[in-house]
């Protein structure tokens, strides 16, 4: 059994965190150790992001910085690049990045033990058994991928070219993973995928068990009972919001009334150019229906600014739509012409200065709405999951998140208390807010 040490570096979204965790679990099972500093590592695994050109650049820069750090050390540390950058640019990388010992596409990561054995010269008679389900989550929250890939081919997005066509994980595997995570102390399950709302649509007839996302959410909820576990679902496209799904969110106690719907824009012409459907009128009806059917619902969305040919009036239309809808959280992204996408070759590319001006206006509005939505919770009492402890100038404080805050995205709750452990769920009264953050005090039961 090897005793080599590996440092894991993850860039990008929560889906990459899940992939890194899977590789870590496989390598731990094969006898490798985890370390947290490059100068202690025999190898570094960098799980990369290539969703945007800026993310690709960050992945390359991180790799080169690690290579420089490694070159200055005394260990012969090897670097292995995994994930989206190898999936997107695999054929060109060996020549461009000779500092990297191996490249592993996202769809090859279950073979990471063989890769690392080869890189580090580990010989073994038989490869260890690859478990169907294995995670090493130590936090109170765990992301669970229910699908991978995407069939939408939005004209601005490279994900289908990186992750391939859409494919759903089986309900059996998802539920088994959820049970394992909850047994290990996880208190919130976040269901993720490129397009969660269409989960199950690629199954052939005759598959037993849940057949769509609504049924899957109910089955996952039943699997975690009687534990007090939250279930959150992210990345729902507007077309995926069926009556059955709305009812499942409303009527299933474990499922949080928190909906993440990336609209990107509200103008029908721009949406069509994005190869998306809908219009401002259709989106307005959808959000009105959601608010009527699910009282107290929290909505997160995204706005893509400066898409090719977007006019000033169309940009202002999106701002007015955001303002009228009063979204709790909005992520704003300036359009980036991604290599290989149809939008990159479109006429009417928006001037960078204009794009940045529109982006700033959208971000200012999103913050104004988000800060107000956060402040509106002051005075309420709600459950908060403890995520960790931080040291401040005034001493230690607990950091957690409430049901209306998606972990790692929407801010946190700060508590002047230390007598709780990660994963505890506390009753908290919110006493103040700043930006997207809340200050609270524990309510004695």
Q: Are residues 333 and 403 in the same domain?
A: no
Q: Quick check: is 135 in a domain?
A: no
- CATH of residue 411's domain is 2.40.50.140
Give 217-242 pLDDT, tens digit per residue. Answer: 999 999 999 989 999 999 999 988 99
Residue 37 reports pLDDT greater than 60: yes
Residue ending a domain, among 120, 151, 173, is: 120
Q: Are residues 202 and 155 in the same domain?
A: yes
Residue 38 reports pLDDT greater than 70: yes
- CATH of residue 83's domain is 3.40.50.12160
Q: Is 435 annotated as a binding residue?
A: no
Q: Quick check: is 134 in a domain?
A: no
Residue 206 reports pLDDT greater than 80: no
Q: Are residues 313 and 437 in the same domain?
A: no
Q: Quick check: is 128 in a domain?
A: no
pTM passes above 0.75? yes
Q: Quick check: is 311 in a domain?
A: yes
Rg (CA), the chain: 23
Q: Quick check: is 98 in a domain?
A: yes
Confidence of residue 445 (pLDDT cuts 50, 70, 90): low
Q: Are residues 65 and 193 in the same domain?
A: no
Q: Provide the pLDDT for residue 52.
A: 83
Give 382-418 pLDDT, tens digit per residue. Answer: 999 999 988 777 777 899 999 999 998 899 999 987 7
Q: Is 266 annotated as a binding residue?
A: no
Q: Is 82 annotated as a binding residue?
A: no
Specify the DSSP class assigned to residue 304.
E
Q: Are strands 147-148 and 167-168 parallel, antiparallel or unpaired?
A: antiparallel
Q: Are residues 371 and 386 in the same domain?
A: no
Residue 426 reports pLDDT greater than 60: yes
Q: Are residues 322 and 411 in the same domain?
A: no
Q: Are residues 333 and 301 in the same domain?
A: yes
Find out whether 120 and 2 touch, Cβ atoms under 8 Å. Answer: yes
Q: Are residues 414 and 289 in the same domain?
A: no
Q: Quick check: is 186 in a domain?
A: yes
- pLDDT above 90 covers what percent of the chain? 71
Find out whether 38 and 46 touch, Cβ atoms under 8 Å. Answer: no
Q: Are residues 105 and 40 in the same domain?
A: yes
281: containing domain: 141-375
Q: Provide the pLDDT for residue 2.
A: 65
Q: Quick check: is 415 in a domain?
A: yes
Q: Are residues 154 and 254 in the same domain?
A: yes
Q: Are residues 64 and 159 in the same domain?
A: no
Q: How many domains does the chain have?
A: 3
Q: Quick check: is 223 in a domain?
A: yes
Peptide bond into 226 cis (omega under 30): yes
Residue ending a domain, among 375, 400, 416, is: 375
Q: Are residues 352 and 399 in the same domain?
A: no
H or E segment and range at residue 219: helix 213-224
Give 42-55 pLDDT, tens digit per residue. Answer: 999 999 998 888 88
Give 250-276 pLDDT, tens digit per residue. Answer: 999 999 999 999 999 999 999 999 999
- Residue holding tokens 């049970």? 179
Residue ending a domain, among 90, 120, 150, is: 120
Residue 11 reports pLDDT greater than 70: yes
């Amino acid at each position: 059994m090897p005793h080599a040490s590996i440092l894991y570096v993850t860039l990008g979204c929560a889906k990459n965190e899940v992939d890194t965790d899977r590789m870590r679990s496989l390598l731990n099972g094969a006898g490798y150790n985890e370390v947290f500093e490059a100068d202690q590592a025999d190898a570094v695994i960098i799980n990369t992001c290539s969703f945007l050109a800026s993310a690709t650049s960050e992945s390359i820069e991180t790799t080169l910085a690690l290579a420089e750090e490694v070159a200055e050390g005394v260990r012969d540390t090897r670097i292995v690049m995994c994930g989206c950058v190898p999936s997107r640019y695999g054929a060109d990388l060996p020549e461009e990045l000779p500092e990297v010992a191996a490249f592993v596409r996202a769809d090859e990561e279950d073979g990471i033990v063989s890769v690392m054995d080869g890189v580090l010269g580990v010989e073994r008679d038989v490869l260890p058994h690859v478990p169907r389900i294995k995670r090493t989550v130590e936090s109170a929250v765990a992301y669970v991928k229910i699908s991978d890939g995407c069939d939408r081919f939005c004209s601005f997005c490279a994900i289908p070219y990186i992750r391939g066509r859409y494919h759903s994980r089986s309900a059996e595997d998802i539920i088994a993973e959820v049970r394992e995570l909850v047994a290990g102390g996880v208190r919130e399950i976040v269901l993720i995928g490129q397009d969660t709302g269409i989960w199950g649509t690629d199954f052939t007839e005759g598959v037993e068990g849940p057949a769509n996302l609504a049924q899957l959410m109910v089955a996952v909820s039943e699997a975690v009972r009687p534990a007090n576990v939250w279930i959150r679902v992210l990345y729902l496209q507007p077309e995926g919001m069926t009556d059955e799904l709305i009812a499942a969110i409303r009527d299933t106690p474990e499922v949080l009334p928190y909906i993440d719907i990336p609209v990107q824009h509200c103008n029908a012409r721009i949406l069509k150019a994005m190869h998306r459907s809908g219009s401002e009128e259709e989106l307005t009806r959808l959000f009105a229906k959601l608010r009527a059917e699910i009282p107290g619902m929290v909505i997160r969305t995204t706005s893509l600014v400066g898409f090719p040919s977007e006019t000033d009036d169309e940009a202002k239309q999106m701002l007015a739509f955001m303002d009228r809808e009063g979204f709790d959280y909005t992520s704003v992204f300036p359009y980036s012409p991604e290599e290989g996408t149809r939008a990159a070759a479109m006429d009417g590319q928006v001037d960078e200065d204009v794009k940045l001006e529109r982006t700033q206006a959208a971000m200012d509005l999103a913050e104004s709405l988000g800060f107000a939505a956060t402040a509106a919770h002051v005075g309420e009492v709600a459950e908060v999951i403890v995520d960790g402890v931080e040291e401040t100038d005034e001493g230690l404080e607990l950091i957690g998140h409430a049901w209306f805050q998606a972990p790692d995205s929407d801010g946190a709750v700060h508590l002047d208390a230390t007598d709780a452990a990660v994963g505890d769920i506390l009753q908290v009264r919110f006493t103040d807010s700043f930006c997207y953050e809340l200050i609270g005090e524990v309510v004695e039961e």
